[in-house]
């Protein structure tokens, strides 16, 4: 698995993402170099061996992130539904 990650001037990792499996390694290196020329942050590439502890932790972190996004979306949906009910009640007054 190939992962791209981005660091600030102090080397702190700001964000990361999995690189598409069908991306050519040469194309990836060109994109990284182009990004690094234009951005203050620096992009890096890291290979993670499938089945390793590192791969497990990466997948676990991404799963938790997806669950957090789903929880936030569920909360937004509930708020929208509650707002609709309140608006209906206000119209009846």
DSSP string for 60-76: HHHHHHHHHHHHHHHHH
At 32 the pLDDT is 95
At 73 the pLDDT is 87
pLDDT in tens, the chain (93 residues): 999 999 999 999 999 889 998 999 999 999 999 999 999 999 999 999 999 999 999 888 888 777 777 888 888 889 999 988 888 888 887
Q: Structure tokens of 59?
A: 């997948």
For the chain, the structural domain boundaries read 1-47, 51-93
Q: What stretches of the chain show up as alpha helix (H) in DSSP? A: 25-38, 53-92
Q: Tell me how far apart the alpha carbons of residues 34 and 43 are, in angstroms, rounded to a whole number.
A: 10
Residue whose tokens read 């702190």: 12
CA distances from 67 to 22, 33, 73 (A): 26, 33, 10
Predicted TM-score of the model (pTM): 0.63
């Amino acid at each position: 698995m190939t992962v791209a990650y981005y660091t600030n001037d102090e080397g702190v990792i700001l964000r990361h993402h999995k690189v598409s499996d069908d991306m050519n390694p040469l194309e990836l290196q060109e994109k990284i170099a182009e990004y690094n020329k234009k951005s203050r942050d620096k992009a890096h590439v890291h290979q993670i061996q499938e089945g390793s502890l590192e791969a497990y932790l990466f997948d676990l972190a991404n799963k938790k992130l997806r669950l957090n996004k789903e929880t936030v979306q569920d909360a937004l949906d509930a708020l929208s539904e509650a707002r609709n009910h309140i608006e209906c009640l206000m119209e009846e007054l």
